[in-house]
Structures are given as structure tokens and as C-alpha cells.
Chain A
Amino acid sequence: QKEVEQNSGPLSVPEGAIASLNCTYSDRGSQSFFWYRQYSGKSPELIMSIYSNGDKEDGRFTAQLNKASQYVSLLIRDSQPSDSATYLCAVTKPNFGNEKLTFGTGTRLTIIP
């Protein structure tokens, strides 16, 4: 079992709709959770971070964390063509200050105009 699992997609969503991206993780000790966006040929760019159960909203983006179910999701409201990218879920575990990120394989999202 991979430590962080994502549906690789591709996920196609009409412009203006809500895109829902999901991620599960295997280590209950995971402490911090991140969503990165990566355009083709570019580096990962942080979209959201979440550390406690519940929802966290930032503009059109909402991250949801459920530690009991070991599940984290990202909702993108009012999807725009510029949201088309690969979305990477990443987690960290406390390790004496070494907060290395463990990534999923990413979900490729396409917003259809």
C-alpha cells in the first residue's frame, strides 16, 4: 500500500463547476497535509495547508481533513481553465524537525471551457 494515494485521473470538470480531489494516507502519525498544484513542466506550487480536522477555506479553494478516516480532500469552486493542472497531495510526519514531504502520484485535472 502506498503511503499517500490519489486517483490519478484524468478528472474532467466543466468550467464553473466544483472540482473535488481526494487523497488517503496510511500513516496515522501523519501530522501536516498539503495540496500542491503543478502545471506541466513546472515546479509544485503550494495551494493549501491543513493541520487539524475540519475545513479550511481560501478563496475558491477548500481543504477538508478527516484524521479518523485518514482522508484529505480539496474542493475547487467555480473552476476556471487556469485550474487545469496536476494536483499533488502531500503529508508529513513529525521526525525531529525533518518535515520531509511524502507525495501521492497526483491527480490530473482538466477544466473544460
Chain B
Amino acid sequence: GAGVSQSPRYKVAKRGQDVALRCDPISGHVSLFWYQQALGQGPEFLTYFQNEAQLDKSGLPSDRFFAERPEGSVSTLKIQRTQQEDSAVYLCASSLAVENIQYFGAGTRLSVL
């Protein structure tokens, strides 16, 4: 596709439910990033993939958060046993490795009730 695609756009979960958020990066983009954006804040880094390798997961807030990119294209961010503090917009970005310009998807707004 022309841009980074994320789905679903909105997700409402009951506390304790597991959720899975999908990111389809721009074709050919090697690098893929996940960010979390709380209301009124800038995005905060969660994790980074280069192709299928997860090279940095230092931003994941707890072991309930898990991300994968098994074939080096589509990525899934999974949150287990969701908590209210997980409510945020989850943004995915991709870039060509050498260009270093990140292009963002529209995000998934997660609300945990």
C-alpha cells in the first residue's frame, strides 16, 4: 500500500482481556517501530524491528506487552491482561534503514474499561 496501515483503528477492551494490534508497513521498509502515545503527550518508543529481528524492546512497559514481525513485514503488538493504564494510541512507523525518516500509521486507539 501507499502508507503504513494499522488495524483496528479503535479497540475497546475490558480489563483483563488480551488484545492484538496489527501494523502493515510501507512495502520495502526494513525498520519498524511501535510507539505509545498517551493523551496530551508525545509518542514514546516501545520496540524496534529490523526485518524480522526485534533489536530493541527496552520501551515495552511490562512483560504483558509482546511484539513480533515473523516474516519481516507485518507486525503485531499484543497486550495481555490489559489494564486501564494501557489506554492510549498505539502508533506504528516504518522507515528505509538508511533514510532514517519514519512514516507513521493512523494508529490504534485502545480504551480499556
Is the beta-carbon distance between A98 and B56 smaller than 8 angstroms? yes
In the bound complex, how far is the Cα of B42 from the Cα of A4, in angstroms? 10
Q: Please give me the residue from chain A that is nearest to B4 by CB atom.
A: A43
CB under 8 Å from chain A, chain B span 17-45: 31, 33, 35, 40-45
B87 at the interface (CB under 8 A from A): no
Contact A101 B107 (CB under 8 A): no
A100 touches B56 (CB 8 A): yes
Q: Which residues of B contact A60 (CB under 8 A)?
A: none
Check A88–B42 contact: CB distance below 8 A.
yes
Is A32's CB within 8 Å of the partner chain B?
Answer: yes
Asked if B33 and A32 sit within 8 Å, CB to CB, the answer is no
In the complex, what's the smallest C-beta–C-beta distance from A87 to chain B, in angstroms?
A: 10
> Assuming A97-B97, A105-B42, is B106 touching A46 (CB within 8 A)?
no
Q: 1/0 contact trace for A93-113 toward B, CB 8 Å?
A: 001111111111110000000
User: What B residues does A102 contact at CB under 8 A?
Assistant: 45
Interface size classification for chain A: 20 to 34
Closest Cβ–Cβ distance, residue B96 to chain A (whole Å): 11
Specify which chain A residues have a CB less than 8 angstroms from the CB of B93 in the assembled complex: 101
Contact A103 B42, CB 8 Å, known A46-B101, A49-B101:
yes
- A45 part of interface (Cβ distance < 8 Å): yes
B100 touches A106 (CB 8 A): no
Contact with B along A70-108 (1 / 0, CB 8 A): 000000000000000000101010011111111111100
8 closest residue pairs by CB, A with B = A103-B42, A43-B104, A100-B45, A44-B104, A98-B56, A99-B100, A43-B106, A105-B42
Residues of chain A having any CB pair with chain B under 8 Å: 4, 32, 34, 36, 42-46, 49, 88, 90, 92, 95-106
15 A-B residue contacts at CB 8 Å? Answer: A34-B101, A43-B91, A44-B43, A88-B43, A90-B42, A95-B56, A96-B55, A97-B97, A100-B33, A100-B56, A102-B45, A103-B42, A103-B43, A103-B44, A105-B40
